Amino acid sequence: MGVREPAEIVFRNTAIHTADPQRPWAEALAVAAGRIACVGDQADVDHWIGPATELFDLPGKLVLPGFRDSHIHPLAGSFNLLECRLVGPADAASYLTQIRAYGRANGDQPFLRGGGWQPDAFSSHGPDRKALDAVVSDRPALLKSLDGHSAWVNSRALEMAGIGKGSPDPPGGLIVRDPVTGEPTGTLREWSAMDLVEARLPKPAVRDLVTAGWAFLERAARLGIVSVHEAMAGEAELAAYRELERSGELTLRVQAAMLCEPPGGEEAVHRLVRMQREFRGRLLAPQAVKIFLDGVVEGHTARLLFPYADRPGFRGELLWTPADLDRTVRALDRAGLQIHFHAIGDGAVRLALDTLEKNLKTGGRRNGRHLIAHCDLVDAADIPRFGTLGVTAVLQPAWFYREANFDRTALPFLGRQRAYGLYRMRTLLAAGGAVACGSDWPFSGELNTFNPLDSIQVGVTRAGLDADPEQPYLPEERLELSTLIDGFTMAGARADFQEAITGSLTAGKSADLAVLDRNPFHLPAEEISRARVLLTLFAGRTVFRADSL
């Protein structure tokens, strides 16, 4: 029997939340050769200590698995920070001031692009091009909403794209028009409509996306994040991740969902399979396929089972025909790819579940671990189907409160019963469904964050970070802290087929972990987000260490 090498790092005299149901808690942990060598009591770990072992005595701190964000747009979000990023409360005048200042400071740019405006800063018809023309008229301008499902464009952008009074709406999209003149107002809803303009603007080069990746990786390491599910990747994004991995700069795992647009079909599937093979790496797994089924409630583009309360007879948009969707999902599943649906409305959620059920009945895989992201509104009859069909709901706990625009969008658009029936993670779990958690950053609503601790606090309190915790939104849906931590760790690993190598602090798994400066289990719920990461390890490598540690 060979001599065992001592551990490189040992944590002791601390609380260790393992996310391993076989041993949820421990007090010491050893890291050797990039893996967790031992986790248990102090006596279990002592014999791993050698003369070169780095010892961390951490009373009052918490060691836990590194966080996983199961639905995020890292490169798009970081690249957006380099553009005209609108911040602050929902205020049209403030947005115009910010746009004017950015335009003056970047007068050499042939176009102005950015985003971050909140829909409730404008009427339900959206912002108007004339206001945007007043601050930037010398070049095309396109600014996306905070949710990423609408764009505000100026007259130059509409002219560049050839969008006029007689232009038809693209499939699944909407060119908002003046009800009197029929002229485009400057609001474009959903990807197909926004792409009429965006496709004519230069796309970020791979090198630009690598630069954005550096910025994201630095921020992610500071937040204890060791894995992400890139929620919408094209070839440029995959090439950027591949370059980061090849250069040794990729400090987390990337599961990537490649975008598939309607009508899909065999040709699209062949292209996605080629991309999967071409870009797969040790840390990069382009294993999933993103399919948008609908839009968002605030744009009246989420697909509902029953009409919008403020628009009788109108149930929102479906971006796919059921026939195209059935055919494409069947082909993707047979090719071994995971489906990652975007579904906000209860009509879109039901379509996703119906499609997956049909696929199973025609010989589909039983362990496809297909995903339905967001699931803001789910009909009661569909809640048990997640567990029955083996589907994972990918939810965003940072949304689980009554945002400032609730009274202007959710309540009038959905009506009281549906508006007070959103984000039922506890109910989904109780019915046997699997849930993984993400942020959807930068399209992450009023609380625009990808800090898992912010999301976890909201999930526990069902109130905003600065809101009165005594006034929660649907308090019966509040969750235990351990459940939310699982949603951002082990549940995400299972959703990404990685539970055997990471997601919990279990001997033999990759040493992917974070150390918090305080133990959230000992804090009032409304103070969870005040915890800060002191140390992040990825495969045993220190990717962030606070000066105070």
Mind giving me the DSSP string for 330-378?
HHHHHTTPEEEEEE-SHHHHHHHHHHHHHHHHTT--TT---EEEE--S-
Mean pLDDT (the chain, rounded): 95
62 has which bridge partners?
15, 516
Q: Which amino acid is at 403?
A: E
How remote is the C-alpha of 222 from its chain's centroid?
18
Which H or E element spans position 41?
Answer: none
Measured CA to CA, the distance from residue 389 to residue 188 in angstroms comes to: 36
- pLDDT tens sequence across 37-79: 999 999 999 999 999 999 999 999 999 999 999 999 999 999 8
* 426: its two tokens: 């506890």
175 dihedral zone (left: phi>0; alpha: psi -120 to 50; beta): beta
**What is the pLDDT averaged over residues 357-367?**
94
- pLDDT tens sequence across 493-534: 999 999 999 999 999 999 999 999 999 999 999 999 999 999
Residue with tokens 């605030």: 298
142 has which bridge partners?
113, 153
pLDDT band at 471 (very low <50, low <70, confident <90, very high): confident
- pLDDT tens sequence across 373-384: 999 999 999 999
Q: Which amino acid is at 466?
A: D
Which H or E element spans position 232?
Answer: strand 225-233
**What is the pLDDT averaged over residues 80-102?**
90
* 263: its two tokens: 């009508």
pLDDT band at 89 (very low <50, low <70, confident <90, very high): confident
Q: Identify whether the C-beta of residue 66 lies closer than 8 Å to the C-beta of residue 515.
A: no
Which of 180-194, 235-249, 439-453 has maximum average pLDDT? 235-249
pTM of this structure = 0.90
Measured CA to CA, the distance from residue 337 to residue 206 in angstroms comes to: 25
Q: Which amino acid is at 536?
A: T
pLDDT band at 31 (very low <50, low <70, confident <90, very high): very high
204-495 carries CATH number 2.60.40.10:
no
Indicate the domain borders of the chain. 9-65+508-545, 112-198, 204-495
The predicted structure's pLDDT at residue 296: 93
- pLDDT tens sequence across 294-327: 999 988 999 999 999 999 999 998 999 999 999 9
Pairing between strand 371-374 and 338-343? parallel
How far are the Cα atoms of 14, 69, 219, 361, 536 from residue 517, in angstroms, in the given order? 11, 21, 17, 50, 12
- pLDDT tens sequence across 537-547: 999 999 999 99
**What is the pLDDT averaged over residues 19-32?**
97
3-state DSSP call for residue 437? strand
Q: Which amino acid is at 160?
A: M
Residues with Cβ within 8 Å of 85's Cβ and at least 6 positions away in sequence, in order, are 114, 115, 116
The predicted structure's pLDDT at residue 1: 38
Measured CA to CA, the distance from residue 132 to residue 129 in angstroms comes to: 5
pLDDT band at 466 (very low <50, low <70, confident <90, very high): confident
Measured CA to CA, the distance from residue 78 to residue 219 in angstroms comes to: 10
**What is the pLDDT averaged over residues 163-176?**
91
The predicted structure's pLDDT at residue 119: 86
pLDDT band at 28 (very low <50, low <70, confident <90, very high): very high
Residues 83-87: contacts with CB within 8 Å, 24+ apart? Answer: 83/113, 83/114, 83/115, 84/112, 84/113, 84/114, 84/115, 84/143, 85/114, 85/115, 85/116, 86/114, 86/115, 86/116, 86/117, 86/143, 87/116
The predicted structure's pLDDT at residue 2: 47
Fold of 9-65+508-545: Urease, subunit C; domain 1 (2.30.40)
* 352: its two tokens: 């996703």
374 has which bridge partners?
343
The predicted structure's pLDDT at residue 68: 98
Q: Which amino acid is at 413?
A: F
Q: What percent of the chain has pLDDT over 70?
A: 99
Question: Rounded to 5 degrees, what are φ and ψ at 42?
Answer: -55, -40
The predicted structure's pLDDT at residue 404: 83
Q: Which CATH class is domain 112-198?
A: alpha beta
User: Which carries the bigger pLDDT value, residue 352 or residue 190?
Assistant: 352
Q: 3-state SS of 292-322?
A: ECCCCHHHCCCCCCCCECCECCCCCCCCCCH
The predicted structure's pLDDT at residue 3: 52
**What is the pLDDT averaged over residues 197-224?**
94
